Structure 1
Amino acid sequence: MYRVLHTVVPPVAKAVWRPHITGLHHVPDTGPVILASNHLSFADSVVIPIVVPRKVVFLAKSDYFTGTGLSGAASRAWFGGLGMLPVDRDDSAAAMESLQTALEVLERGEAFGIYPEGTRSRDGRLYRGRTGVAHLALTSGAPVVPVGLTGTQHLQPIGARLPRLAEVTVSFGAPISVGEEYAGVPRGRARRDLTDRVMTAIEALSGQETAGAYNDGPPDA
């Protein structure tokens, strides 16, 4: 299903929305890589896989995979076909399970997409990154490619059921590799420092104003 959707959807979507894409050469063709992006819209998890030639795996809430009837089957086919994996967000252990799932994706040599802010920004500002992205990079050794999205909040505004026409830009930055600079550094400090480096790169790509705080708003979809 992924091969079918990725053959059909990207050309159609690019023809309709004509996204402006820069720095795509920073995404390696093969091998494990973490795509760390800002988060403005539900559509972000569709936009990134559309513009990246290789498969990018995101996590999606398990409700999208448990529906019944034709609508449930269509939902499973769509989200599964986009390369998304289900996660139970109501489970108290979901965060750790999500990180383990992400590590398994990276161990297979695939690309994993993550939003360090944790949830969508409802005011357009860039919020402080949570350290899960650094945990994945430091544990797996995979490079982090920062991604800056602009305009996706207009593509599918919060509350909108269907996407709209909007100018969208997707900017990829130079990979941030985990080197020897973190050898011997306390785990917590290393995660915080690497996460801040990633968020600084995302800020430069997206041009967003920084909020200087964590995004503790309502969880998104």
Structure 2
Amino acid sequence: MFYWLLKYVVLGPLLRTIFRPDVRGLDNVPESGPVILACNHLSFSDSIFTPLMVRRRVTFVAKAEYFTGKGIKGRLMRQFFLATGTIPVDRSGGKAAQAALDTLLRVLGEGGVAGIYPEGTRSPDGRLYRGKTGVARLALESGARVVPVALLNTDEIQPTGTLIPKIKRVRMRFGAPLDFSRYDSARGDRFVERAITDEIMYELMVLSGRPYVDVYASKLKTTVEPPGPMRLPSPLDAGAPADR
């Protein structure tokens, strides 16, 4: 009930009025059945705008620290994440990634909508980075279709490190659902998982118009010079490698 009030009566209408969202392709999200929303990740606000724009309830996972803050701000943040369906995951241990995937797999098993950021972290500079194969494992194990979601300018609305967002029209694009049922017999094959992930990242690159870099964003902290942009091979390219 609190979720319904927040999304449709309180926060949803307020954000639509302030940020005047330009959302295209929303009808690409199936009205029923398990669905994975695979989003590029530019800003903290991505996890706010995406669930509020989609008609169905969207479940993301977030680090547990978001649920343990102190004071009024901490309580408000905790209530917001709980109301929007976000589930806390302890990221301190080595099994954190698997715990997140198990949580989302449970959501998909119940016919719900799971949101995931294949890059695994926010882009440090606005470019699109190599996707991790967890999204492919989710798709293969659940049989869910994958809808690529491109957030076009949330890094301008709320740059990393800023608390108060700028008042600017938010722009989002939802791509056509991707069906990977043709790979059902290849579950657990890391080359297939890489091929699926690259196909999803290619669609995000096309939708977002952002340059692609074939490096994990999380590894940039150890990189002396930022890597240059690359073109991600299209799934239609003849001879495109399954892994690099």
Instruction: Flag whether TM exceeds 0.5 (same fold).
Output: yes
Q: TM-score, normalised by structure 2?
A: 0.85
DSSP-derived class of the 2:115 partner: strand
User: Counterparts of 1:143 and 1:163 in 2: how far apart (Å)?
Assistant: 32
How many residues are matched? Answer: 218
Partner in structure 1 of residue 158 of structure 2: 156
**Distance between the aligned counterparts of 1:53 and 1:184, measured in 2?**
33
Output the aligned Cα RMSD.
Answer: 1.5
Structure 1 segments unaligned to the other structure (5+ residues): none
**What is residue 190 of structure 1 aligned with on the other side?**
192
Letter paired with 1:34: I
Displacement of 1:163: 1.5
The answer for the alignment partner of 2:103 in structure 1 is 101
Cα distance in structure 2, aligned partners of 1:18 and 1:62: 31
Which of residues 71, 77, 80 is equivalent to 1:78?
Answer: 80
Distance apart, 1:138 and its partner CA = 0.3
Change (3 A) 1:77 1:181: closer
2: CA distance between counterparts of 1:82 and 1:168?
19
Match of 2:7 in 1: 6
In 1, are the aligned partners of 2:183 and 2:192 still within 8 Å (CA)? no
Instruction: State the shift of 1:185 in Å.
Output: 7.3
1-structure distance, mates of 2:100, 2:186? 27
Contact kept in structure 2, 1:37 and 1:114, CA below 8 Å: yes
Residue 170 of structure 2 corresponds to which residue in structure 1? Answer: 168
Unaligned runs of 5+ in 2: 222-244
| Correspondence for 1:40 | 42
Pairwise CA distance, 1:111: 0.4
Which one has the largest radius of gyration?
2
Contact 2:140–2:187 at 8 Å: present in 1 too? Answer: no
Equivalent residue letter for 2:58: V
Matches of 2:19 and 2:70, distance apart in 1: 32
SS state at 2:129 partner? coil
Question: Cα gap change, 1:57/1:184 in structure 2, threshold over 3 Å: closer, same or farther?
Answer: closer
Q: Residue 111 of structure 1 aligns with which residue?
A: 113
Rounded Cα–Cα distance in structure 2 between residues aligned with 1:114 and 1:172: 14
Whose RCO is larger (CA < 8 A, sep 6+)? 1
| Separation of aligned partners in 2, 1:169 and 1:210 | 19
In structure 2, relative to structure 1, the CA distance for the partners of 1:13 and 1:186 (3 Å cut) is closer
Q: Do the aligned residues in 2 keep the contact of 1:152 with 1:166 (CA within 8 Å)?
A: no
TM-score by length of 1: 0.93
